[in-house]
Amino acid sequence: MKKAIVLTADKFEDMEVYVPIFRLMEEGWQVDVAAPKKEEISGENGYSLMPDKTISQVNPDDYDLLIIPGGSPDGAPATVRKIKKAQEITKSFFAKNKPVASICHGPWTLADAGVVKGRHLTSFWHDNVPEDIKKAGGIWEDKEVVVDGNLITSRYPMDLPFFLRELMKILK
């Protein structure tokens, strides 16, 4: 069974977490959610979930896909990007050329992990996300979805159909 790990925290974007999880589950994937603590976290739109593990417990070698969703600029993405272990997990996926999918403010973690230099990607267009990507050497594009090798990125929840279409292509 293929396994995916979702790195998130409190104040996540509900659709950016749940829609990819449900889509992967439809395809028979096991999807684990990791957060800073193993306690209930809440989405911006009222949904909540109990993480399967903490980010510190994640062994990236146990997973085939990394998903870093977005959320409020002072919520989940701002929390996850500061966690050294989240950056290490991200670096491990890139070092092994495993698929990485990130949407909205999620690419902040990619920039902070130092894995975007010379890579094409997109993100939410405000809150300094494009500027942080560019500072880290990334090539930011304002498109519904950008695929660069093993990396799939999108801008916001309304891009989820395009994001998941491209993710499914890479996974097959």
pLDDT digits (tens, 9 = 90+) for 129-150: 999 999 999 999 999 999 999 9
Encoding tokens for residue 13?
């974007």
Q: What is the mean pLDDT of the chain?
A: 98
Which pLDDT value is given to residue 140? 98
String of b and e for 84-117 (b: at least 16 CB within 10 Å)? ebbbebbebbbeeeebbbbbbbbbbbbbbbebbe
Long-range CB contacts (< 8 A, 24+ apart) of 143-151?
A: 146/120, 146/121, 146/122, 148/119, 148/120, 148/121, 149/97, 149/119, 150/93, 150/94, 150/97, 150/98, 150/99, 150/100, 151/99, 151/100, 151/101, 151/102, 151/110, 151/119, 151/121
pLDDT per residue over 9-60, tens digit each? Answer: 999 999 999 999 999 999 999 999 999 999 999 999 999 999 999 999 999 9
Which pLDDT value is given to residue 12? 98
Which pLDDT value is given to residue 120? 98
Q: Which domains does the chain have, with CATH numbers?
A: 3-171 (3.40.50.880)
Known catalytic membership, residue 105: yes
Tally of CB atoms within 10 A around 67: 25
Pick the closest to residue 65 from 92, 84, 104 (CA basis).
92
pLDDT per residue over 46-98, tens digit each? Answer: 999 999 999 999 999 999 999 999 999 999 999 999 999 999 999 999 999 99
List the catalytic residue out of 11, 81, 105, 119: 105
Statement: the pTM of the whole predicted model exceeds 0.95? yes
Which pLDDT value is given to residue 48? 97
